[in-house]
Structure 1
Amino acid sequence: MSSIAVKRTNQAGTTVYSLLVAVSLVHLLNDTMQNSVSALFPILKPSLGLSFAEVGLITFALNVTAAVLQPLIGLYTDARPTPFLLPIGVCFTLVGIVSLALAHHFSLVLLSACCIGIGSAVFHPESSRVAHMGAGARRGLAQSIFQVGGNTGQMLAPLLTALLFVPLGQKGLLWCTFAAGAAIVIQWFVARWYQQRLTLEAPRKHKRSIRATGAAVALSKGRTAFAFSILIVLVFSKYVYLSSMTSFYNFYLIQHNHFTVRHAQYALFVLLFAGAVGTLLGGPMADKFGRRNIIWFSILGTAPFAIILPYANGFWMIVMLACIGLILFSAFSIIVVYAQELVPGKVGMVSGVFFGLAFGLGGIGSAVLGNIADTHGISFVIHVCSYLPLIGLLTMLLPSDKTLHHTPAVEGQDVEA
């Protein structure tokens, strides 16, 4: 994209949809490759003789690598934006995919998962920043477009098991190298756009009036920290529950409902497909009805369906999975935008913290739940985790959108955009 085009598409309030679609597409490819790790579990567990605890440790290695690195990368790039980290990050993912496809030892599987985690750690904070830059006035919509790519990638992972890994085995993962190649190419063009945008802004320190943007908040440091902590707890409830579903619900269906591996993956696909739809709807709904209202609806609204799910079978199980996906997934992009508005001027750090938390909590949850499953059984894990969405009651403690955007600032006070 030329400098003239960058000027034209980045005027105040303009939403750059072509850019948002590009980063969303890479998010789809990235998360398809990342979630292929858990999608491969029904093949890896019997072929390598893994326990449930070892299955959990693989997810732990991937997610915690990403969780630790993402806030650090976000903090670094807030101070020193580095556009061409974007394609470099996908190269790590490519190395991880190839080594995982050929791995015959548990230790190499763990190392491969760590490489994929590094790729995701680079991708998420920087691509979230690009989505923020191209959002204009529609931040909720922009984050939803970005995030729906990731949810679609998650959705495709069970299909990989059903269509590739069951007939082709572990080496079927090599087909994901085409996804990595496409992602590297797209990220190269996104990085060029990002670099040109930075070049245009270099002659002046890009600041905006607090009154013009509503970016600052009228909260004390203590209230801001408290609200930030509540968001972290909500992310915990969402991602530990989601980890129980993506890592272990397929085993529950195989053991207790006598599903085949393929049919268990199709059931998981329903959850993730509904989640992709919910993610896309969540941003525009938050722009219209308020961020806190949608966060409240998403986390707590999942609870009745999650509690009923372990007792449902056949048609009603599919209905419950669809409702859980549609409601639960609508909140994450909104939580990220809400947090960015709590701490203005730290887009990369905030994005890194919350994407890192999503990965880290999911990884820790998988490791802990895997050990519990070995001791008490899969059924116990699924039943206990069904109550996690009740933590959504804490949303009532978050400041309202009106309080968040009230700005009793002195005229002319500035913050970094």
Structure 2
Amino acid sequence: MSDYILKLQGIKKSFPGVLALDGVDFDLCSGEVHALVGENGAGKSTLVKVITGVHQPDAGEIQFQGQSVKFVNPLMAQQHGIAAIYQEPTVFPDLSIAENIFMGHHTLQSLTRRIDWRQIYKEAGNLLRSLGVSLDPHTRVRGLSVAKQQMVEIAKALSVKARVLIMDEPTSALTMREVEDLFSIVRRLRDTGTAIIFISHRLEDTFQLADRVTVLRDGHYIGTRDVSQVTPDEVIQMMVGRTVDKMFPKEEVQQGEVILRVDGLSKERSFYDVSFELHRGEILGLAGLVGAGRTEVACAIFGVEPPDRGNIWLDGHQVHIHGPDEALELGIAYLPEDRQLYGLVLPMDITQNVTLPILSQFARLGWIDQAAEWRTAQEFAERLDVRAAGLWQKVSQLSGGNQQKVVLAKWLATRPPHSDS
């Protein structure tokens, strides 16, 4: 492939105390799906924000269709035909599908300069049909599934004639059938010449969909490979710097005593008759499709939404958990699926987030012992290798992976003997 529509060379981007990108190269061809992979904190999100004009690089060059460009804001990137679709759809839930598709670039009547609603709904319908999607453009977005909201966002990208489409973790909340439908649309876009950057933690998605894959590690460019010429194990080795057998060595695990037993747990319209046992030193997976009730079961155990029926036994004793405060007292912690909405206070710094559940431990006559608070935050930030400019840095400025580490550090700081994650 040599028909590059987008090319980045030597991109560097730093934030206070953190070098997020260090000389990264990346290129994208028309009519290809190029996967961008790496561990949490590798620099994927920062690179996407550079491409979309959210961040400006400290060094390096961006070329679009062979011309050097500087995207000083997202609007400029959009005007060049670059659009992004994120893990969580960015839609206006109480507006119609058509209004969302043409938000910011409505069709106007030639004489009155008023919005031509008839034309907008007609064009929205045409865009949806071109994607093979059966949706009424008059429908409010609020009632749509995540998968269908993503289709609306793809249609919006096509409405501005996007030539580069960035898809950031688009399959994380989809069922297998919805993933297949999405991939079918992505292939159709690729075949019509759209260039697609595909970001996913699921390597099976990469190998099923992408033509090429670029690997980042700790802000460095590791390499680009044709998907047909590389194996998943080789990509993993590029991502982490070691072989799979060294990452996940076979270990003999001694199963401890039962510490948590759930018996017949039920919650109306959420889950029914859930029973399992968790042993000390065991990692127990709770699997199921989106909407199967996994999150609701965890919330019930943590007391966020207590169950209607069933029993919970902890260390052989039956317990009744009516709220998260009682769960914490019993030594149960909960890591939510949406860390930004439920797990963190984004405007606060790392120290404040880590110590928030145990703030009373640092209270002295109405004052906070900030030195003791800082030492506790430092202990757990170091244990989990939280990469930041300092403990004073706001968690909103951290990468997704480091934000997740802060959530985990917050609960570990409570020193729970039992953790529900």
Superposition TM-score, scaled by structure 2 size:
0.24
Larger radius of gyration: 2
Higher RCO structure, 1 or 2 (CA under 8 Å, sep 6+): 1
Higher fraction of helix: 1
Superposition TM-score, scaled by structure 1 size:
0.25
